[in-house]
């Protein structure tokens, strides 16, 4: 390979196309010289000190790994490392967790409360005191309650601190709570597994990868998504020489670790799954005891897949029949330690619950539920709640508003709240730690909804796009500067983790609990926050598991005895939480609501000539768009690139590293241009980029204008009728060459 630039962190060398090593990364060297000089005296013999570590858990993503924060001998922030006994990280933080300090150090952070003075979206604000901000909000909310009722207020939430705003708004009188991680991410999976097995697979997913002998990944790019313990378990599976089968139109990192890479035509996953089910049944190699003892609807399933042969699936999926058979046999051979991973972000095509149903059914035929190397069982962990008076009963909830639409939605889809807002059903949004401009498809619709509001309150640490549309901005301090709600996990181990502040909050930023509690005081809702401060609240809760803040600050993670075995015991009679108490291969529940009781494949729209399906994914250095401005992580990956098959590049006369713009099927043009990475790692009917880039918020000095935002190009949205998920993979792009 060619000689790299010594300042590159990730060097990509592509022997196949003979291209010179492509360099990602590099950054300006001018900044932070002050730090360097101090370092110069101590490096390279920098000696650790015995300063005290601070217990926390990470907020860089939703995995929430328990960690220790350390300062150097001068008392300056130094590093964040994993907590050894924590089962989310086993003592090892991931790339983002290791770079967590960057979220604290970022000079672009929100610093003081602000109230909008210009037109909405114009981004003109004045700095105000917390008291002024609270008075402003309280007055508006009071008016909304009197004129329209409290149910007109909705909370969008993604983050640990959001729970305090739930308390606040429930006390105010609304139950309209939503999180984009449902209908824009894992909702279809959770509902499909509930329909089939009677329960969802949880988060962290209860997949026993470390003991699996055969792992099937369908678009799940473990390794590029750095869900910590799951990646570690995947690493163990590789060490154990498990058979890995990766289905992905892209040669993902996981695909490179696989015995089989199945580069299927995008959108045809369900056809492949039905063909696998066909092979398992036709060849009589499914787990017969599990099906006999615990499943209903096997005869209907057999009939249903009779004609879904590998030969039927071949022209649909482009996967050869012999490969479909061989991979099905691998699964069967290793069952029950054989796992078809249910993935996480699955809102793809608008029929996602049905696709995930097919995956749930396939898992059932492998008999892996409650088995080592399959799905392990959930445990129970009750941590006492701080008592408060009952919440007022709202006159109506989202379920009343929506009627029988999305009958299997267990929580309101954020996209539905947005639609209802456009129709005039809401007067105010609280948005806590989620940048709705990048977490919901088609930001134009989000803006249209915001225009209907009397009050938009945004609580965040960073001046992301959504803050630019706010009426009131409440700056939260980062996770390294605050106590927070406990992390309670009932996975393989039942554990509680504490987040305590390592540093004093910078500027005039405050923890979510403080913001919610003080706003409650202003709104006359103090009875819902009957504790004097967070320590009293936490101590009350911790006492119920025999612990205290004092203890937790020393240990970070407390393990509570798990009385439920994680695997089914031999001879144990399994009872499932479905209406039939069995695993429902055939779903009468779905049938009763007019949906397919067994999953039926329909071909998604295909790209027209000159257009390519836009697919996207994650990179280990970033969590969605929220870490792109992080000074440490931005160095690793400052912008995204567009993956393009060499054949496509040749047809267009596009060279490796050339910069182009993208235009989607509706004529929407990307704001920015993007560097093309010509690579054999992708099919010729799709292009790929990493989600979360192309920030429009000017105050994100590193992230602004870098790369392309995929959400802007997602304007063709199909909605899953079962539970309301929005499709993100139903958009096609063509290329705009720059003159």
Partner 1 sequence: MKILKKRYAMVIDTRSCIGCGDCVVACKTENKVPEGLCRDWVVQEISGTFPNLEMEHRSERCNHCENPPCVSSCPTGASYILDMTNITLVDEDKCTGCKACVASCPYDARFIMPEGYISKCTFCHHRLEEGLLPACVSTCPTICMYFGNLNNPFSKVSRLLRARKWKVLKPEAGTKPMVYYLV
Looking only at residues 82 through 111 of this chain, which bind partner 1 when binding is defined by CB under 8 A? 82, 91-95, 98-99, 101
Quick one: which segment of 232-240, 279-287, 541-549, 579-587 binds partner 1 (CB under 8 A)?
Answer: 232-240
> How many beta carbons lie within 10 A of that of residue 736, not counting itself?
13
Identify the CA nearest to 133 among candidates 468, 471, 438, 426.
471
Shortest reach from residue 691's CB to partner 1, in Å: 17
Shortest reach from residue 710's CB to partner 1, in Å: 21
Separation of alpha carbons 4 and 1, rounded Å: 8
Residue from 157, 679, 731, 734 that binds partner 1 (CB under 8 A)? 679
Nearer Cβ to partner 1 (32/544): 32
284 contacts partner 1 (rule: CB under 8 A): no
Residue from 198, 235, 321, 705 that binds partner 1 (CB under 8 A)? 235
Question: Which stretches does DSSP call E strand in 252-407?
Answer: 260-262, 295-296, 338-340
239 contacts partner 1 (rule: CB under 8 A): yes
266 contacts partner 1 (rule: CB under 8 A): no
18 contacts partner 1 (rule: CB under 8 A): no
588 contacts partner 1 (rule: CB under 8 A): no
Shortest reach from residue 703's CB to partner 1, in Å: 16
Residue from 620, 625, 692, 724 that binds partner 1 (CB under 8 A)? 620
Q: Which of residues 174-213 bind partner 1 (CB under 8 A)?
A: none
Residue written as token pair 């039905």:
274
Nearer Cβ to partner 1 (165/234): 234
Nearer Cβ to partner 1 (37/577): 37
Quick one: which segment of 187-195, 229-237, 498-506, 550-558 binds partner 1 (CB under 8 A)?
Answer: 229-237
Separation of alpha carbons 739 and 735, rounded Å: 12
Residue from 2, 26, 410, 602 that binds partner 1 (CB under 8 A)? 26
Identify the CA nearest to 663 among candidates 575, 734, 566, 589.
734
Give every CB contact of residue 342 below 8 A, 6+ residues apart in sequence.
189, 192, 193, 201, 205, 207, 356, 359, 360, 363
Containing H/E element for 362?
A: helix 352-365
Report how far Cα 636 is from the mean position of its chain's Cα atoms. Answer: 21
Classify residue 567 by its DSSP letter: S
Shortest reach from residue 604's CB to partner 1, in Å: 21
CA angle 519, 520, 522 (to 5 degrees): 65
Q: Which of residues 345-404 bind partner 1 (CB under 8 A)?
A: none
Q: From residue 588, how far is each of 187, 364, 696 by CA, in Å?
A: 20, 17, 47
Nearer Cβ to partner 1 (308/492): 492
What's the token pair of residue 208? Answer: 């026993």
What's the token pair of residue 615? Answer: 């697919």
Total chain residues near partner 1 (CB under 8 A) = 79
590 contacts partner 1 (rule: CB under 8 A): no
636 contacts partner 1 (rule: CB under 8 A): yes
Residue from 133, 247, 621, 725 that binds partner 1 (CB under 8 A)? 621
Identify the CA nearest to 227 among candidates 201, 194, 192, 262.
201
Which class for 569: exposed (0-12), middle (13-18), buried (19 or more C-beta within 10 A)? exposed
Q: From residue 62, how far is each of 164, 263, 487, 502, 712 by CA, in Å?
A: 17, 29, 11, 20, 24
341 contacts partner 1 (rule: CB under 8 A): no
117 contacts partner 1 (rule: CB under 8 A): no
- Tell how strand 472-475 and strand 114-116 pair up: antiparallel
Classify residue 118 by its DSSP letter: S
692 contacts partner 1 (rule: CB under 8 A): no
The binding track of 65-84 with respect to partner 1, each residue x by CB under 8 A or -, is -------x-----xxxxx--
The binding track of 28-57 with respect to partner 1, each residue x by CB under 8 A or -, is xx-xxx-xxx-xx-xxxxxxx---------
Identify the CA nearest to 587 among candidates 569, 575, 599.
599
Nearer Cβ to partner 1 (297/620): 620
615 contacts partner 1 (rule: CB under 8 A): no
Nearer Cβ to partner 1 (246/711): 246
Shortest reach from residue 47's CB to partner 1, in Å: 5
Residue from 2, 52, 127, 256 that binds partner 1 (CB under 8 A)? 256
DSSP lists the bridge partners of residue 80 as: 69
167 contacts partner 1 (rule: CB under 8 A): no
């Amino acid at each position: 390979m060619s000689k790299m630039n010594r300042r590159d962190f990730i060097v990509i060398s592509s022997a196949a196309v003979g291209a010179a090593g492509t360099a990602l990364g590099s950054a300006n060297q001018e900044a932070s010289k002050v730090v360097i000089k101090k370092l110069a005296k101590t490096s390279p013999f920098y000696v650790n000190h015995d300063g005290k570590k601070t217990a926390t858990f990470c907020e860089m993503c939703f995995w929430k790994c328990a960690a220790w924060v350390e300062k150097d001998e001068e008392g300056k922030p130094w590093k964040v490392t994993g907590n050894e006994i924590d089962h989310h990280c086993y003592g090892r933080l991931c790339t983002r967790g290791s770079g967590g300090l960057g979220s604290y150090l970022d000079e672009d952070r929100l610093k003081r409360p602000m109230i909008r003075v210009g037109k909405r979206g114009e981004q003109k604000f004045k700095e105000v005191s917390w008291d002024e901000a609270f008075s402003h909000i309280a007055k508006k909310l009071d008016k909304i309650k009197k004129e329209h009722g409290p149910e007109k207020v909705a909370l969008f939430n993604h983050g640990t601190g959001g729970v305090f705003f739930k308390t606040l708004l429930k006390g105010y009188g609304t139950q309209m709570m939503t999180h984009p991680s449902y209908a824009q991410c894992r909702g279809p999976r959770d509902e499909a597994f509930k329909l089939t097995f009677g329960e969802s697979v949880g988060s962290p997913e209860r997949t026993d990868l470390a003991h699996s002998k055969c792992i099937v990944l369908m678009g799940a790019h473990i390794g590029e998504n750095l869900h910590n313990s799951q990646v570690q378990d995947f690493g163990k599976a590789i060490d154990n020489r498990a058979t890995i089968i990766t289905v992905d139109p892209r040669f993902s990192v996981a695909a490179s670790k696989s015995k089989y890479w199945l580069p299927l035509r995008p959108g045809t996953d369900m056809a492949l799954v039905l063909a696998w089910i066909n092979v398992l049944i036709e060849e009589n190699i499914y787990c017969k005891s599990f099906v006999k003892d615990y499943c209903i609807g096997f005869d209907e399933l057999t009939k249903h897949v009779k004609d879904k042969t590998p030969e039927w699936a071949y022209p649909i999926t482009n996967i050869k029949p012999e490969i479909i058979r061989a991979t099905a046999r691998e699964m069967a051979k290793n069952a029950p330690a054989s796992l078809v991973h249910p993935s996480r972000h699955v809102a793809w095509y608008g029929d996602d619950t049905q696709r995930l149903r097919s995956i749930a059914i396939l898992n059932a035929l492998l008999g892996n539920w409650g088995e080592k190397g399959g799905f392990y069982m959930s445990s129970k962990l009750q941590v006492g709640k701080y008592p408060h008076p009952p919440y007022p009963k709202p006159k109506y909830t989202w379920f009343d508003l929506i009627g029988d639409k999305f009958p299997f939605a267990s929580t309101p889809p954020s996209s539905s709240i947005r639609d209802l807002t456009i129709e005039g059903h809401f007067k105010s949004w609280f948005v806590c730690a989620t940048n709705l401009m990048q977490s919901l498809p088609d930001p134009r619709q989000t803006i249209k909804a915001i225009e209907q509001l009397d009050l938009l309150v945004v609580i965040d640490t960073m001046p992301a796009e959504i803050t630019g549309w706010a009426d009131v901005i409440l700056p939260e301090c980062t996770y390294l500067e605050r106590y927070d709600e406990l992390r309670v996990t009932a996975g393989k181990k039942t554990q509680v983790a504490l987040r305590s502040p390592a540093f004093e909050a910078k500027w005039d930023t405050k923890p979510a609990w403080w913001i919610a509690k003080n706003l409650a005081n202003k709104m006359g809702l103090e009875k819902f926050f009957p504790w004097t401060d967070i320590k009293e609240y936490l101590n009350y809760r911790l006492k119920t598991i025999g612990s205290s803040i004092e203890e937790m600050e020393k240990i970070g993670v407390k393990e509570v005895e798990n009385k439920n075995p994680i695997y089914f015991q031999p001879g144990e009679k399994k009872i499932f939480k479905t209406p039939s108490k069995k695993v429902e291969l055939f779903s009468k529940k779905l049938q009763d609501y007019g949906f397919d009781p067994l999953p039926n494949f329909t071909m998604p729209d295909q790209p027209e000539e000159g257009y390519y399906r836009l697919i996207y994914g994650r990179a280990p250095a970033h969590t969605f768009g929220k870490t792109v401005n992080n000074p440490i992580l931005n160095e690793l990956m400052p912008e995204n690139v567009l993956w393009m098959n060499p054949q496509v590049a040749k047809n267009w006369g596009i060279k490796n590293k050339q910069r182009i713009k993208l235009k989607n099927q509706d004529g929407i043009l990307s704001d920015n241009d993007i560097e093309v990475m010509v690579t054999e790692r992708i099919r010729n009917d799709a292009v790929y980029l990493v989600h979360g880039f192309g920030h429009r918020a000017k105050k994100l000095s590193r992230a602004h204008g870098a790369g392309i935002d995929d959400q802007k190009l997602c304007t063709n949205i199909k909605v899953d009728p079962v539970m309301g998920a929005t499709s993100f993979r139903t958009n096609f792009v063509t290329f705009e060459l720059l003159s």
